[in-house]
Amino acid sequence: MRDQISRFIVQALREMNYDVEDVTDATDLGPAGLDLESLALADLTVQLEDEYGIKFSDEDMETLATLNLGEFAATLADRIAVPTEVAAE
């Protein structure tokens, strides 16, 4: 599932006109890597919400911006595997 999510993220970033030619799991989403701005990260998370039926809070957005692609995909895979209602308990 994590690999599928990584591919989806890379494709979404490509469609958002980001250069993803050399992107790996170790590529940071923030300034040291892809340098996603808050609006781009919001756009990406909306696409992920639509594709995988998950929701992100404002706190999630702050945390996600500090991750690399592999960590981001793993976090999303974990959220998909555990329904939100169960995770909130």
Burial class (CB in 10 A: 0-12, 13-18, 19+), 75: middle
| CATH hierarchy code of domain 2-19+28-83 | 1.10.1200
Burial class (CB in 10 A: 0-12, 13-18, 19+), 89: exposed
From first to last of its 89 residues, the chain has per-residue pLDDT tens of 889 999 999 999 999 999 999 999 999 998 889 999 889 999 999 999 999 998 888 888 888 889 999 999 999 999 887 754 444 45
pLDDT score at 83: 58
Task: Give pLDDT tens digits for 17-37.
Answer: 999 999 999 999 988 899 998
pLDDT score at 86: 45
